[in-house]
Structure 1
Amino acid sequence: MRVSGLSSGMDIDTLVTQLMTAKRAPLDKLNQNKQILEWRRDSYRTINSALVDFRQNKLDKYKKTSEMNVYSAEVSGNKDAISVKATTSANQVSMKVEVGSLATQSTLETASLGEGTTMYTKLGSLNSGAGPFEFSVSRGDGSSSYTQSFKFSKDDTIKDVLTKINGDYSAGLSATFDEAGKKFVVKSKEYGNDTVKFAGSLLTDVFGTTDPEKATQDGQPALVTINGTKYTPSSNQLTVNGVQITLLQETKDAGPATITTKPDGKKALETVKAFISDYNALISTLNSKVSEQKYRSYAPLTSEQKKEMTEDDIKNWESRAKSGLLRNDEILVEGLSNMRTLLSSSSVKFGDKTIGLASIGITTGTYTENGKLYLDEDKLMNAIEENPEQVMELFIGSSDGASKGIFDKMYDNLNVTLSRMADKAGTAKYSTDITISLNEQSTLGKELTDLNDRISTLTKRLTQIENNYYTQFTAMETAINKLNSQSASLSSFTG
């Protein structure tokens, strides 16, 4: 039990607090170091989130070939027969297209099931048999053929049949019910396959199809002639000379359709503008951290210091204490340097020409802008018109995959930066979530673990020291009290 200084008249609690103030200085220092480490890890979290977002949500999109397509295709003549879309491998060859026939699906359509039939009609009401009723689809001929079967009970409805068949992805079928004609219709999802066969008692006994094979219209390939060459694609879509052609209807008497391909920088310009905007925002964030002012005289506040300050004072103080924690950080500085070097060194050779960012209208600002990019849209559009393939290769790499473009290179470089940050701060390389748990086996995680152990040990030691002070003061109070009692006794004798 602690005494309060009744005998001595001293304020024991205040004395012990004053004695412990100096003793607690090392503990306050450890807690301040811990706070700095935690703030630094939080700063890394924020930077990590920005890097992951730029890499996974921006670059991952930009590096797709469709985002840097520098060609467009147009149809003249019979515009109703086909639709077209230029790919990045378009070669600007003009094409004359004649559509003889469209590709079809294997289709079976039953006779009318009678008035009153709906999707909710039970199979048992269409056939008095007890079931089960089977439906099967087969594909292929001879040893390469395979069959898939379905079974239904008399209590199943037509809707149940549709749900089961359509819900089986591997069956590759589309089943519908024609409410107007009261017919069951089933089609193969693939076009041009004439080996698809439908069979089973569901068709013969319930839906009244005497000969399912004869009732099936076999799928047929399309027939199209392009620049005098005949093609028989198994679907209504094919790619020729880098142009994706979708067949819509037969040309017949309306005459052929003509496809013209030309350089078109609109899509590429849109992608490059978005990249530059996102890149500038990212390096602005990184540059603000590595150049942030550091206030060395503003250490994290102790709990005792906070008691004597207002909330606004605490907020302002901690704002400065947190400032500059990543100033000149090696990981961020190197990451920025790698991105700038990548952009300035990337180029594509074309004959005696070398095409780089500067030659297509992308330049950096002044030295004080720390690598900010600027775009001359007219110059980029002119470059695309003159050298479309080379501009595309500069950003997304060669079509044969032999060389990488700027987007892929930066995607890879950022992974290195994120890996280093994960090793140091324990951040997640693939998550933008700033609340996700940090890896405690990282460099800063281990430092924090060590600090927590030291704080715990020192706290226990200070508690023991404080208890010893109180024990000594208690002994003093007891001795004074005893002396006072003896003095009072002697006084009574001499009364």
Structure 2
Amino acid sequence: MRIGGLASGIDTDSIIKQLMQVERQPLDRFFQRKQTVEWQRDAYRDMNLKLRTLEQSAASIRLRSSLNTRVAQSSNEQMFTVTANSSVQNGTYEFKVDQEATKTKNISAGSITDKDSGIKFSASAKLNEQNSAIGDVSEYNGKFSITTYNSNGAKKEVEITIDTSKSLNDIMKQINDSDVGVRAYYDSAYDRVVFERKDTGEFNGKVIDGENRQIIFGGDTGFLNNVLKIKQENEQAGQNAIVEFKNPVFGNNEPIKIDNSRSNRITIGGMTFDVKEPTGGEFQSVTVSSNTDDAFDKIKAFVDSYNEIITEINIAISEPRYRDFPPLTDEQRRELSEREAEMWDEKAKSGLLRRDPTLSSVLTQMRNDLYTPVATSGQFNQIAQIGITTTSNFQDGGLLEIDETKLRAALQDDPDSVHQLLNSVASTELTSVPKNSRTAEQRREIESQTGLVGRLRSTINDSINQIIGRAGNENRTNQQFTLGRELISVDSQIDNFQRRLAQIEQRYWQQFTRMEQAVNQANAQGNALMSQLMGGM
């Protein structure tokens, strides 16, 4: 604590504070610069979030299924359900399920617990502690094997160790964790064990007793046979699905029969059927019709998102910059009312991204992406052909508008061509060439073959990465982006200047202290002289 002016009567503290206010003005400008850079960084990051939202909106219409306007309805959804892709023509088809695909199973021939004992068996308790329920199992500490064959006919085999000091669940876990494709479990309600293939259908197996067995047991099977009551001959073989399909275009008397599907999900002519149970020998109808609502809504949502970001960018790069309104210092903010400070901040934050080259570039490139024709095999190669055009008012800055009637007609008549226009992919012969090695002609050809959505997503991602390089994101430190490094530099300047201010303030106090000492010495001399004069009178 310093106290000045005791000898001179001067308010030293007030004088030094006023002197330091003048000295501190460059420091205020450093803090204002830091605040401006932080605001600019946040403005860039906010713009990146909006660009990412647009990229996600574009991605939502990337898949063919997202623009599929075909709706398929089964006449009996308890027996099968159906979906149709955009290539299926509207009309009524017929479908019959002769047999559903099933899993191979082998179930205990009877209860594994001795009912007379009155003891309930537990699959999680040690086997050798449940003799009353399942009998003495001490003789079954051996090994048995399970063999299966996969869809390619390759043999799969696992050897299971029986340790009666462990639980039945421990033994079955060895099976379930193996790659033989078999699941084993104990059903306490029925008091039986079930072995089943994880996949439906008929697989290659081994002929045993004249039957094609698909879960083959080998080795020491005494535990399986005597304790779990699993017998090889009790296997219920899995079977393939058998279905028939009629397309009226080719005549209802020429059904297609499929009898080799291991799965209950079967695709025929662009329609995917999920079989649940046989149709009782009768054909059921499948009605395919158009519903453009979902596809239209997704495209409209994308256009709305595009218009929103276009508006945001246009505002950001044309917003006026008020250089006479720098960020407020803490002292200046205390002198203003809350409303005055808020209005000042609005002016100070205005124009932070004015004429930003990255944002101006993405704006121009996105327009080019949308308006450049796409090389497709469909009937549409320009966005205007499906009813999406720019507004007639040039002051809108390139906003899009939708002719709903035209877009719905395109989606209903040829959704596949709409998908090609939006989502075509360049040939792998071109894209397999490293970017740095591509010729100008190859780059133009890739651009021509790439759909509008792909072009936009590429442009947006490139711009996002450029902005991250300038303004960073939550995963980057200040050293890793341009504005962050500028903040580090400003912080360093602030630290250096604050040390300098401390030295200046110290110097002022030293100067005033020396003045006080001189005044005090003069006062002492004056008092001594006065005393001598008074003494001589």
TM bucket, shorter chain: 0.7 to 0.9
Show the counterpart of 1:71: 70
Q: Aligned residues: percent identity?
A: 31
Shift of 1:164: 6.8
Please tell me whether residue 187 in structure 1 is matched to residue 196 in structure 2. yes
Q: Is the 8 A contact 1:222 1:234 kept in 2?
A: yes
1:197 is aligned to 215
Instruction: State which of 460, 476, 480 in structure 1 corresponds to 2:515.
Output: 476
Task: Identify the residue that residue 405 of structure 1 maps to in structure 2.
Answer: 451
> Structure 2 CA distance, aligned partners of 1:349 and 1:121?
66
Q: How far 1:466 moved relative to its partner?
A: 1.7
**Which 5+ residue runs of structure 2 have no aligned equivalent?**
206-213, 246-253, 429-445
SS at match of 2:450: coil
Partner of residue 431, structure 1: none
Mark the CA change 1:400 to 1:86 in structure 2 (over 3 Å): closer, same or farther: farther
- Aligned residue for 1:283? 310
Distance change >3 Å, CA 2–CA 388, structure 1 → 2: closer
The structure-2 alpha-carbon separation of the partners of 1:278 and 1:460, relative to structure 1 and needing over 3 Å to count, comes to same
Q: Is 183-192 or 363-372 further displaced after alignment?
A: 363-372
From 441, 446, 470, the equivalent of 2:480 is: 441
Offset of 1:325 from its aligned partner? Answer: 1.1
What is the CA deviation profile of residues 291-340 of structure 1, one whole-angstrom value per residue up to 9, with x for unaligned ones?
A: 33432221111233233234443333223212221223222222222222
> Separation in 2 of the partners of 1:303 and 1:313?
14
Q: Determine the C-alpha separation between the residues in 2 that align with 1:169 and 1:318.
A: 66
Decide which of 321, 325, 329 is 2:352's aligned counterpart: 325
Give the Cα separation in 1 of the matches to 2:44 and 2:479: 14
> How far apart are 1:44 and its partner, in Å?
1.5
The structural deviation recorded for 1:46 is 1.6
> With structure 2 as the length reference, what TM-score do the two structures score?
0.79
Alignment of 1:1-400 (within 5 A): 2-56=2-56, 58-75=57-74, 81-90=79-88, 96-112=94-110, 113-114=112-113, 115=115, 116-117=120-121, 123-124=127-128, 125=130, 126-130=134-138, 132=141, 136-140=145-149, 144-151=154-161, 153-154=163-164, 156-157=166-167, 168=177, 170=179, 172-192=181-201, 193-195=203-205, 196-199=214-217, 200=221, 202-209=223-230, 211-212=231-232, 214-226=233-245, 227-231=254-258, 232-254=260-282, 256-259=283-286, 261=288, 263-347=290-374, 354-365=380-391, 366-397=393-424
Whether the 8 Å CA contact 2:89–2:288 is kept in 1: the answer is: yes
Q: CA deviation at 1:222?
A: 2.1
Equivalent AA in structure 1 for residue 24 of structure 2: R
Report the AA paired with residue 54 of structure 1: L
Query: 1:339 is matched by which residue type in structure 2?
Result: M
Give, as a single letter, the amino acid of the residue that structure 1 aligns with 2:193: F
Shift of 1:4: 0.8
Deviations 1:160-193 (A, max 9, x none): 6667755x38554444444443222232121222
Range 66-75 or range 183-192, more displaced:
66-75
Deviates further, 403-412 or 91-100: 91-100
Aligned partner letter, 2:59 = D
User: Structure 2 counterpart of 1:30, which letter?
Assistant: F
Range with greater deviation from structure 2 (107-116 or 485-494): 107-116
1:158 CA displacement: 5.3
Q: Unaligned stretches of 5+ in structure 1?
A: 428-434
User: Is residue 2:524 matched to residue 1:467?
Assistant: no
Range with greater deviation from structure 2 (87-96 or 323-332) = 87-96
Q: Is the 8 Å Cα contact of residues 472 and 484 (structure 2) preserved in structure 1?
A: yes
Q: Is the 8 A contact 1:194 1:220 kept in 2?
A: no
Kindly provide the amino acid, as one letter, of the partner of residue 207 in structure 1: L
Provide TM-score, normalisation by structure 1: 0.85
